[in-house]
Amino acid sequence: MEKKVLVVEDDDAIRDMIVFNLKRSGYEVIEAGDCQTARVRIADHRPDLILLDWMLPDTSGVEFARSLNRDELTRTVPVIMLTARSTEDDKVRGLDSGVDDYITKPFSARELLARMRAVLRRAAPEGDSDEVAAGQLVLNLASHRVLADGQPVELGPTEFRMLKFFMTHQDRVYSRSQLLDHVWGGGVYVEERTVDVHVLRLRKALAPFGFDKFLQTVRGAGYRFSPEAPGA
């Protein structure tokens, strides 16, 4: 499955060079020149890896990495810091911010790609990473299919994204506004009631198999996906 990489770098020439080499190596690449834009890209695209410059125009890469590490939804996304700061103190400070690796500029494309492969291997879950399961409900990311007890479940694209989010973030409550950000993306403006409509459609699709009970309404808070739902 093609890995998605977010490149956060304000130097156009360096960013273009990185993007060129990543695309040539088969990666899907998203770009940002500052941290504010990077947050929108993360909400919209959920990258598998972030390449992060230290010196950025709005927030330092170190502070941005710390904020990613504090957020439950991004703390598992691996980050490689790219910087010209090469002293031992700088490296320690960078790694202490929660990044997974630290590469000093200038660097070769071969070194960057090798470091990326190593970080992605460490971050990959055990087993088949293309599948997410909750009991006998299985979502395949590569084929974009959902099976319930071995039978196909017909879902629209929004319901598929919603189910993917719930299945990869089980047993926690998410508000409607959080679901809008992470299912529809930060750059899309729709009413919160839209979430209720798509939850209803998702439940309807899962109901024939008895898996609609996994998707619970938490009064006054939002929704939770739990395979340990009562009667499950």
Render pLDDT for 1-16 as a digit per residue (tens, 0 to 9): 578 999 999 999 999 9
- pLDDT for 69 equals 85
Residue where a domain stops, chosen among 93, 123, 153: 123
- pLDDT for 168 equals 87
Query: 11 and 101 share a domain?
Result: yes
Question: Residue 25 is part of which domain span?
Answer: 4-123
Mean pLDDT over all residues of the chain?
A: 86
Average pLDDT on 57-74 reads: 87
Sheet holding 145-148, edge to edge: 131-134, 137-140, 145-148, 151-152
Query: 119 and 8 share a domain?
Result: yes
The label of the residue with tokens 């939804």 reads 73
pLDDT exceeds 80 at position 230: no
**Range of weakest confidence among 10-19, 68-77, 164-173:** 68-77
32 within some domain: yes
Average pLDDT on 182-209 reads: 84
- CATH number of residue 119's parent domain: 3.40.50.2300
Query: 27 and 114 share a domain?
Result: yes
Query: 149 and 219 share a domain?
Result: yes
In single-letter form, the type of residue at position 211 comes to F
Contact call for residues 81 and 93 (beta carbons, < 8 A): no
Q: What percent of the chain has pLDDT over 90?
A: 46
232 within some domain: no
- pLDDT for 127 equals 47
Query: 74 and 140 share a domain?
Result: no
Query: 116 and 137 share a domain?
Result: no
pTM above 0.85, yes or no: no
159 CB-side CA count, 13 A: 19
Residue where a domain stops, chosen among 123, 155, 188: 123
208 within some domain: yes
- CATH number of residue 186's parent domain: 1.10.10.10
Q: What is the pLDDT of residues 119-165, one digit of tens each?
A: 887 776 544 457 888 889 999 987 889 999 999 999 988 899 899 99
- pLDDT for 129 equals 55
pLDDT exceeds 70 at position 187: no
The bridge status of strand 145-148 relative to strand 137-140 is: antiparallel
Looking at the 3D structure of the chain, how many domains does it have? 2
* Contacts with 168 (C-beta within 8 Å, 6 or more apart), sequence order: 132
Query: 40 and 105 share a domain?
Result: yes
Residue where a domain stops, chosen among 123, 149, 177: 123
Query: 149 and 75 share a domain?
Result: no
pLDDT exceeds 50 at position 55: yes
- pLDDT for 101 equals 87
Q: What is the pLDDT of residues 75-128, one digit of tens each?
A: 888 999 998 887 788 888 878 888 888 898 888 998 899 889 888 877 765 444
Query: 116 and 153 share a domain?
Result: no
Query: 9 and 114 share a domain?
Result: yes
Query: 100 and 145 share a domain?
Result: no
Query: Which helix or strand (DSSP H or E) is residue 207 part of?
Result: none
230 within some domain: no
* H helix intervals, the chain: 12-24, 35-45, 61-70, 88-96, 109-123, 157-168, 176-179, 193-206
Query: 73 and 167 share a domain?
Result: no
